[in-house]
């Protein structure tokens, strides 16, 4: 009888894990497809890099500002319910992106798509924490990293193929049948197995904290991505807005009974370091992921489907290394692994900066694989180091906070990549924009490329120092 109950519990855990892994796969595949598609979208709408990058920024911004809200609501109304509804919204947003006739509408529909992705990201890890025993948490998160890597790995290849033989619009259509099918199957067969999240049912929602968080992140992203091209007045206004909003948010959250932003948890050293390190890791990764397709397209003239194959080098290493990293965390903890991950990532970025206009795809691929190895060594131990120690009532908000930190990193990395590269290219080319690129600007492009990667290397080095400070 006991064996039968345990077998049923294991079967239930596997099914729920597959549902969560499907959502992770879809959201990560979508992100990696868009990075490859940016040059094509920029040409299609004849816009600048600074404007086109908002196709990526809007997605990441929406996820970043709403993850904490969805994490909180998942604790109140049920993590499973939020997860399934998020998958449905993601499907609807993807279909709208496929139909978008204008860049402005595409950016808005990416907002809709991102709302669904945020619901899945906020509740997914909390579901895993709820159904797996603590001694298997590291391995479960490591295997979830496999779903992440498959999504990231297949995204560039599928994107490159669809763009070459159809158009960039097709990349939004390909996720619709999978996400819709998974949503229906989850609703019909797994609704009873998903955690209900009763811990904070009926607690008041922190609307002022949520609005402050949205305003702070939005103002910061606009400042980072566009401050270089606007006058002194707007810069001062944005700076004052950021500082004022940050101060107001801190005051609001200090006095909230149930705060949206868990400032009290950041008093724990392990918590603050894990969140900051997660953000730094993804800043470094997304600076590289945003500018590498432009380098391969504009400088090396590699066909878009082959760009997809080269970019696949990062997630291939995630697929191989993530489970091993999660298993090692269960034995030796997070400090050594996360520090090693940042060291490897820093080395990879430095090596990428030494690429030139004659570099071969294989030279790019092994450097990207090294970067993916560093990220893989870091990610599962960093996540497990927080979830394994946090109390049950804070699981949902911590899951949302971890995802928020990662998405702050993606968002900031994408903004820094666009801003820094555009500013450096403007400076080295004598005042030109990337849409005016010709063979005469190859030296200016390479100087801008290397300078932007230099920023990423410095940030990775800071991550090394931060991880060494772990308990």
- 251 with 262, same domain: the answer is no
Predicted pLDDT of residue 87: 87
When mean pLDDT is compared across 74-83, 86-95, 267-276, 424-433, the lowest value belongs to 74-83
- 27 with 90, same domain: the answer is yes
Which 3 state secondary structure label does DSSP give 268?
Answer: coil
SS (H, E, C) 99-110: HCCCHHHHHHHH
Predicted pLDDT of residue 217: 82
- pLDDT-based confidence at residue 121 (cuts at 50, 70, 90): confident
Predicted pLDDT of residue 393: 66
Predicted pLDDT of residue 263: 74
Is 0.85 surpassed by the pTM of this model? no
- 235 with 346, same domain: the answer is no
Would you give the end-to-end CA distance of the chain in angstroms?
43
Between 283 and 311, the higher pLDDT residue: 283
Predicted pLDDT of residue 364: 92
Distance CA 405, CA 392 (A): 20
pLDDT at position 1 over 60: no
Distance CA 360, CA 258 (A): 54
- 372 with 416, same domain: the answer is yes
Q: What range does the domain containing 438 cover?
A: 2-206+256-468
Closest among 71, 95, 93 to 83, alpha carbons compared: 71
Distance CA 298, CA 293 (A): 8
- pLDDT-based confidence at residue 460 (cuts at 50, 70, 90): very high
- 196 with 280, same domain: the answer is yes
For the residues 57-84, what does the mean pLDDT come to?
A: 79
- 193 with 212, same domain: the answer is no
**Domain closes at, from 188, 221, 255:** 255
- 194 with 342, same domain: the answer is yes
Predicted pLDDT of residue 323: 72
Share of the chain above pLDDT 90, in %: 16
Closest among 403, 278, 330 to 24, alpha carbons compared: 403
Predicted pLDDT of residue 3: 45
For the residues 357-365, what does the mean pLDDT come to?
A: 91
- 435 with 303, same domain: the answer is yes
Q: Which helix (H) or strand (E) holds 17?
A: helix 2-45
- 181 with 272, same domain: the answer is yes
pLDDT tens digits for range 124-181:
777 776 776 666 666 666 677 677 767 767 788 888 888 888 888 988 888 888 888 8
- 159 with 212, same domain: the answer is no
For the residues 110-118, what does the mean pLDDT come to?
A: 91
Predicted pLDDT of residue 139: 66
**Domain closes at, from 198, 230, 255:** 255
* Contacts of residue 82, Cβ cutoff 8 Å, sequence gap at least 6: 70, 73, 74, 119, 122, 123
Which 3 state secondary structure label does DSSP give 1?
Answer: coil
- 263 with 376, same domain: the answer is yes
pLDDT at position 383 over 70: yes
Distance CA 292, CA 370 (A): 15
Task: Supply φ then ψ for residue 390, to 5 degrees.
Answer: -80, 150
Q: What would the two tokens of residue 168 be?
A: 């960039």
pLDDT at position 434 over 50: yes
pLDDT tens digits for range 262-307:
777 777 777 888 888 888 998 999 899 889 988 998 899 888 888 8
Number of domains comprising the chain:
2
Among all chains, which residue has been given the structure tokens 């696949």? 312
- 331 with 418, same domain: the answer is yes
Any idea what the CATH number is for the domain that residue 365 is in?
Answer: 1.20.1250.20
């Amino acid at each position: 009888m006991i064996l039968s109950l345990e077998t049923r519990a294991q079967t239930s855990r596997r099914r729920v894990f597959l549902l969560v892994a499907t959502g992770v796969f879809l959201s990560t595949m979508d992100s990696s497809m868009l990075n490859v598609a940016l040059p094509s979208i920029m040409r299609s709408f004849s816009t600048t890099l600074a404007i086109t990058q908002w196709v990526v920024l809007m997605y990441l911004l929406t996820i970043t500002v709403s993850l904490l809200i969805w994490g909180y609501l998942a604790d109140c109304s049920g993590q499973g319910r939020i997860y399934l509804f998020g998958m449905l919204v993601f499907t609807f947003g993807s279909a709208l992106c496929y139909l978008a006739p204008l860049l402005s509408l595409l950016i808005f529909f990416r907002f809709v798509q991102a709302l669904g992705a945020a619901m899945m990201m906020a509740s997914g890890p909390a579901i895993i924490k709820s159904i797996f025993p603590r001694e298997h948490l590291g391995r479960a998160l490591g295997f979830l990293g496999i779903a992440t890597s498959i999504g990231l790995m297949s995204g560039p290849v599928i994107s490159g193929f669809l763009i070459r033989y159809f158009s960039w619009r097709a990349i939004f259509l390909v996720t619709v049948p999978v996400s819709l099918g998974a949503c229906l199957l989850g609703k019909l067969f797994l609704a009873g197995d998903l955690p209900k999240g009763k811990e904070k049912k009926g607690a008041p929602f922190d609307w002022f904290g949520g609005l402050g968080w949205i305003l702070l992140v939005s103002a910061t992203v606009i400042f980072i991505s566009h401050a270089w091209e606007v006058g002194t007045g707007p810069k001062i206004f944005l700076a004052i807005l950021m500082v004022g909003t940050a101060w107001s948010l801190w005051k609001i959250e200090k006095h909230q009974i149930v705060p949206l932003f868990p400032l009290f948890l950041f008093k724990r050293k392990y918590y603050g370091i894990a969140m900051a390190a997660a953000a730094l890791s993804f800043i470094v990764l997304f600076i590289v992921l945003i500018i590498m397709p432009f380098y391969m397209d504009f400088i090396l003239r590699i066909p878009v489907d082959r760009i997809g194959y080269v970019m696949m080098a990062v997630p291939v290493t995630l697929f191989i290394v993530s489970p091993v990293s999660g298993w090692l965390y269960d034995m030796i903890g997070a400090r050594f692994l996360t520090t090693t991950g940042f060291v490897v990532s820093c080395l990879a970025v430095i090596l990428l900066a030494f690429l030139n206009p004659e570099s071969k795809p294989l030279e790019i691929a092994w450097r990207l694989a090294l970067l993916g190895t560093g990220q893989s060594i870091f990610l599962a131990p960093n996540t497990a180091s927080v979830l394994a120690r946090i109390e049950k009532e804070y699981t949902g908000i911590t899951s949302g906070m971890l995802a928020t930190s990662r998405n702050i990193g993606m968002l900031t990395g994408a903004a820094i990549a666009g801003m820094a590269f555009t500013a450096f290219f403007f400076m080295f080319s004598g005042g030109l924009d990337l849409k005016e690129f010709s063979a005469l600007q190859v030296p200016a492009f390479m100087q801008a490329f290397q300078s932007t990667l230099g920023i990423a290397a410095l940030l990775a080095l800071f991550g090394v120092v931060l991880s060494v400070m772990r308990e």
